[in-house]
């Protein structure tokens, strides 16, 4: 009998599928023709499967909304960008690079500030102004001085309902600590993986999805590398929501917002309605993409 569900775990060629109808876990294997067609099921995939025997079989992978290579996961709805205030210091360039990558993959980003307690009152006030700028762009931002206070963590958990969520952010930003405050099992899984990797063993990283607050949360902090290789110079301006807001009023269709006359984005930048740091990072990324295209 054909059923539908979502893969929530993969282990050595077996896939645990959460049945849409019964909400029970069914262990399955992929049909041999997937391998011949070089198709690999991913955690997060929505699938059709048959569970009439002792072991179920995946019959079909339904169309993916998106997928990532690191971690290998499909159909992600949102990414929590864990952003450190200090140790490592806040970097708008890195934050914008992560946001651009997430937007490129059609995933909704949320920004979660950590280690704000390490800042002086003056430093925190300055950073708060910057992050409020991201809020005005349209991003949901969690920036309380006490990063892991119960109310803020609870507010973050409310965003999980009916979504698949991954975590991302630079190393040392506090992702594992945040995961621990959300769910001990998630934190423990992450710590165990870090420990294994630090021992120098070659470990195949398997992603699992945990059921938390009526949503599914990946047990591994998101992307392990950030680059702009897959983004074209034409696409880049569309990955800045505030540019999209004004680009329809630029004189030229497909305006890059650099040297073109009557560019509405540059007018709004001059008026202070677009953050200078965001625009500077945009130019930096555009140059990086163009340099990469010339080389390859």
Q: How much of the chain exceeds pLDDT 90, in percent?
A: 73
Q: What is the pLDDT of residue 225?
A: 61
DSSP 237: G
pTM: 0.90
Average pLDDT of the chain to the nearest whole number: 90
CB neighbour class for 23 (10 Å; exposed up to 12, middle 13-18, buried from 19)? exposed
pLDDT 10s digits, 150-191? 999 999 999 999 999 999 888 888 888 899 899 888 776 666
pLDDT 10s digits, 194-240? 565 554 444 445 789 999 999 999 987 766 567 788 899 999 999 99
CB neighbour class for 20 (10 Å; exposed up to 12, middle 13-18, buried from 19)? exposed
HSE at residue 77, side-chain half, CA atoms within 13 A, is 11
8 A C-beta contact, residue 134 and residue 111: yes
8 A C-beta contact, residue 218 and residue 164: yes
8 A C-beta contact, residue 110 and residue 81: yes
CB atoms within 10 A of CB 152: 18
| Distance set, CA 143 to CA 91, 159, 192, 232, 233 (Å) | 15, 16, 28, 32, 32
Reference 266, options 281, 246, 252; nearest CA is 246
Reference 265, options 280, 245, 285, 282; nearest CA is 245
- 97-101, 132-136, 225-229: segment of lowest average pLDDT: 225-229
- Cα separation, 192 vs 195, in Å, equals 5
Structural tokens at position 9: 């775990």
> Roughly how many angstroms between the first and final C-alpha of the chain, as a whole number?
49
Mean of pLDDT values over 141-148:
95
Edge-to-edge, what's the strand order for the sheet holding 108-114? 140-142, 108-114, 78-84, 164-168, 215-221, 209-212
């Amino acid at each position: 009998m054909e059923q539908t569900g979502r893969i929530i775990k993969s282990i050595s060629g077996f896939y645990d599928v959460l049945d849409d109808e019964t909400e029970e876990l069914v262990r399955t294997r992929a049909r041999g023709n997937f391998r011949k067609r070089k198709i690999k099921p991913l955690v997060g995939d929505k699938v059709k499967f048959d569970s009439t025997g002792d072991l179920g079989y995946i019959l079909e992978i339904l169309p993916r909304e998106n997928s990532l290579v690191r971690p290998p996961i499909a159909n992600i709805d949102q990414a929590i960008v864990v952003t450190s205030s200090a140790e490592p210091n806040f970097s708008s360039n890195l934050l914008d690079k992560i946001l651009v990558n997430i937007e490129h993959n059609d995933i909704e980003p949320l920004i979660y500030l950590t280690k704000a307690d390490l800042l002086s009152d003056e430093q925190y006030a300055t950073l708060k102004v910057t992050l409020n700028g991201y809020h005005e762009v349209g991003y949901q931002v969690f920036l309380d001085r006490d990063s892991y206070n119960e109310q803020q963590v609870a507010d973050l958990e409310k965003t999980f309902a009916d979504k698949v969520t991954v975590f991302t952010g630079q190393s040392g930003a506090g992702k594992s600590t945040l995961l621990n405050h959300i769910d001990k099992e998630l934190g423990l899984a992450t710590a165990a993986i870090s420990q294994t990797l630090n021992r120098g063993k070659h470990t195949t990283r398997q992603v699992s999805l945990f059921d938390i607050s009526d949503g599914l949360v990946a047990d591994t902090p998101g992307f392990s590398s950030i680059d702009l290789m897959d983004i074209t110079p034409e696409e880049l301006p569309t990955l800045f929501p505030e540019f999209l807001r004004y680009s329809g009023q630029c004189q030229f269709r497909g305006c890059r917002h650099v040297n073109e006359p009557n560019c509405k984005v540059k007018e709004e930048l001059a008026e202070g309605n677009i953050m200078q740091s965001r625009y500077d990072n945009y130019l930096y990324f555009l140059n990086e993409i163009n340099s990469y295209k010339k080389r390859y």
